[in-house]
């Protein structure tokens, strides 16, 4: 009978493989005479003596095949070779399945690695031509993945992205596109009119502003739509970080911008084509940050915008503050409707945290603290606004009198507003010195109507909790139809 060698469960592959081969050879030799004979037997009818638990050859063979499968695809942590080969997956079979899935994805969407076109990525070589060559093939193919591996890639021309393109880096801070000194291009990435469904993800753009003479964008979309930025950082841009011009349905997610220069903001959106869909906005900013920029963190001159978990801190770095020029967290030039700020913060800016004209707007559960002027400033022309559950603490850090008489140093200020509700907010002064003049202040230069101030904490401000409560006259606040209840 065929001799079958036992294979211990923790035996290394290099030791077990010869035994497996020998077992099959022994069984094969034993079966030769049966195969050649006129009375060949089924494997289940063949008995043998060996160490594999089985009554016949059929069960023995199945047991051996099962053991091989277990060793290769499902071995546990007792076998260090198998553990290493799994690459972090629970079993080797899962790693193979994941690898197959990636290959399928690459096959379905063409993959263009810029290193295949000569890019170096050492921070010294000029990779402009290599990036352009890969991009040209993507355009010819009608879209694809522009893959930028780990490295620092110097680029001197605009990278104009066609529709259906994914720009895929190896990671934020791992893949870095650096603008060459004195670059002649206007932008790093550009989506021109008609471009749709572009994704830029997992990379960093270094604008190299100290070595630039011409202002530019890191990323600009002009009459583009349905594009997404995800896990992108922009630093030291000599100009605007991300700009949407006459574009709609653009999304920024996990995008951080710091230290934009040339008196420009971090994020900017605008329309001057007042026709649909270019004037509709519908932009989303989620988990985005814009800090330490020359001008505002976000300038939004489009309707239908959502800011979710966004931060805008320490902006207005080259502005003196005090009303000379808007340099705050979130700012618009003209009235915009359907704008939401959900759990956002704007702190330590050189003017306001939020400074805007808003219609049908919600500001909820945010923090707007220690700004030079007021934490939130709602300007004339605004209406149907709710400010709920926000902290506006210790604002008014400007030591002088604002140059614009309509601007104050309160937690929340407003003027010329209709249908405004402020509820459950903490607008109080703390610290030394305590500089916040009022918790909530109505600037009386323009009349407001239907204002409800209820259930707020307005303690410890320099002048008073507000200029609307007991002891204050209608002439002071210039509000018709005021509800002022349950404030402490």
Residue 2 lies in a domain: no
Q: Are 457 and 426 in contact (CB under 8 A)?
A: yes
Residue with token string 């930028």: 148
Residue span of the structural domain in which 80 resides: 13-102
**CATH number of 196's domain:** 2.160.20.10
Q: Give pLDDT tens digits along the chain (488 positions).
A: 567 677 776 676 667 667 766 766 776 676 555 555 555 556 556 565 566 566 666 676 677 666 666 665 555 566 666 666 666 677 667 777 776 665 655 555 589 999 999 999 999 999 999 999 999 999 999 999 999 999 999 999 999 999 999 999 999 999 999 999 877 666 899 999 999 999 999 999 999 999 988 889 999 999 999 999 999 999 999 999 999 999 999 999 999 999 998 899 999 999 999 999 999 999 999 999 999 999 999 999 999 999 999 999 999 987 655 545 568 999 999 999 999 999 999 999 999 999 999 999 999 999 999 999 999 999 999 999 999 999 999 999 887 777 777 789 999 999 999 999 999 999 998 877 889 999 999 999 999 999 999 999 999 999 999 999 888 999 999 999 999 998 88
Residue 6 lies in a domain: no
Q: How far apart are CA 132 and CA 155, in angstroms?
A: 10
Pick from 102, 123, 146: which residue ends a domain? 102
Pick from 102, 125, 143: which residue ends a domain? 102
Q: Are 322 and 372 in contact (CB under 8 A)?
A: yes
- Domain tally for the chain? 2
CA dihedral (255, 261, 267, 273) in degrees, to 10, reads -140
Q: Are 127 and 154 in contact (CB under 8 A)?
A: yes
Q: Are residues 313 and 384 in the same domain?
A: yes
Q: Are residues 134 and 229 in the same domain?
A: yes
Q: Are residues 410 and 347 in the same domain?
A: yes
Measuring CA to CA, how many Å separate 369 from each of 140, 346, 395, 424? 51, 7, 6, 16
Q: Are residues 138 and 226 in the same domain?
A: yes
Residue 4 lies in a domain: no
Q: Are residues 315 and 447 in the same domain?
A: yes
Residue 1 lies in a domain: no
Residue closest to 213 by CA, chosen among 153, 261, 178, 160: 261
Q: Are residues 261 and 142 in the same domain?
A: yes
Q: Are residues 365 and 307 in the same domain?
A: yes
Q: Are residues 360 and 378 in the same domain?
A: yes
Q: Are residues 200 and 309 in the same domain?
A: yes
Q: Are residues 150 and 98 in the same domain?
A: no
């Amino acid at each position: 009978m065929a001799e079958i060698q036992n294979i211990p469960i923790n035996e290394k592959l290099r030791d077990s493989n010869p035994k497996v081969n020998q077992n099959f050879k022994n069984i094969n030799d034993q079966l030769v005479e049966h195969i050649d004979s006129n009375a060949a037997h089924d494997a289940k009818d063949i008995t043998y003596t060996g160490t594999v638990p089985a009554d016949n050859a059929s069960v023995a063979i199945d047991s051996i095949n099962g053991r091989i499968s277990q060793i290769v695809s499902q071995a546990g942590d007792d076998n260090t070779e198998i553990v290493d080969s799994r690459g972090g997956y629970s079993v080797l079979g899962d790693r193979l399945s994941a690898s197959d899935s990636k290959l399928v994805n690459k096959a379905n969407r063409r993959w263009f690695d810029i290193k295949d076109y000569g890019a170096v990525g050492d921070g010294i070589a000029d990779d402009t031509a290599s990036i352009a060559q890969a991009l040209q093939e993507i355009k010819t193919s009608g879209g694809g993945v522009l893959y930028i591996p780990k490295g620092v890639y110097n680029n001197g021309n605009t990278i104009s992205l066609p529709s259906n393109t994914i720009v895929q880096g190896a990671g934020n801070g791992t893949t870095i596109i650096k603008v060459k000194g004195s670059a002649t291009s206007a932008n790093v990435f550009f989506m021109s009119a008609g471009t749709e469904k572009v994704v830029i993800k997992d990379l960093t753009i270094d604008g190299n502003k100290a070595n630039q003479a011409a202002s530019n964008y890191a990323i600009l979309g002009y009459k583009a739509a349905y594009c997404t930025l995800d896990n992108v950082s922009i630093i030291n841009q000599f100009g605007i970080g991300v700009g949407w011009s006459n574009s709609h349905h653009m999304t920024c997610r996990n995008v951080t911008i710091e230290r934009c220069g040339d008196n420009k903001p971090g994020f900017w959106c605008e329309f001057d084509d007042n026709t649909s869909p270019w004037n509709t906005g519908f932009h989303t900013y989620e988990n985005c940050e814009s800090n330490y920029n020359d001008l505002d963190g976000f300038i939004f001159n489009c309707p239908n915008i959502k800011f979710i978990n966004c931060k805008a801190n320490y902006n207005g770095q080259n502005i003196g503050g005090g009303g000379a020029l808007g340099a705050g967290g979130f700012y618009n030039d003209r009235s915009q409707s359907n704008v939401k700020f959900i759990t956002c913060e704007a702190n330590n800016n050189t003017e306001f945290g939020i400074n805007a004209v808003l219609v049908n707007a919600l500001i909820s559960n945010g923090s707007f603290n220690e700004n030079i002027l007021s934490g939130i400033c709602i300007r004339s022309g605004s209406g149907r606004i709710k400010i709920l559950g926000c902290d506006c603490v210790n604002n008014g850090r400007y030591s002088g009198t604002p140059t614009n008489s309509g601007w104050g140093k309160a937690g929340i200020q407003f003027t010329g507003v209709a249908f405004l509700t402020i509820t459950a907010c903490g607008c109080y002064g703390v610290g030394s010195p305590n500089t916040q003049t009022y918790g909530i202040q109505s600037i009386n230069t323009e009349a407001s109507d239907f204002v409800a101030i209820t259930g707020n904490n307005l303690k410890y401000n320099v002048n008073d909790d507000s200029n609307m409560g007991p002891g204050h006259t209608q002439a002071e606040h210039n509000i018709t139809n005021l509800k002022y209840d349950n404030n402490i």
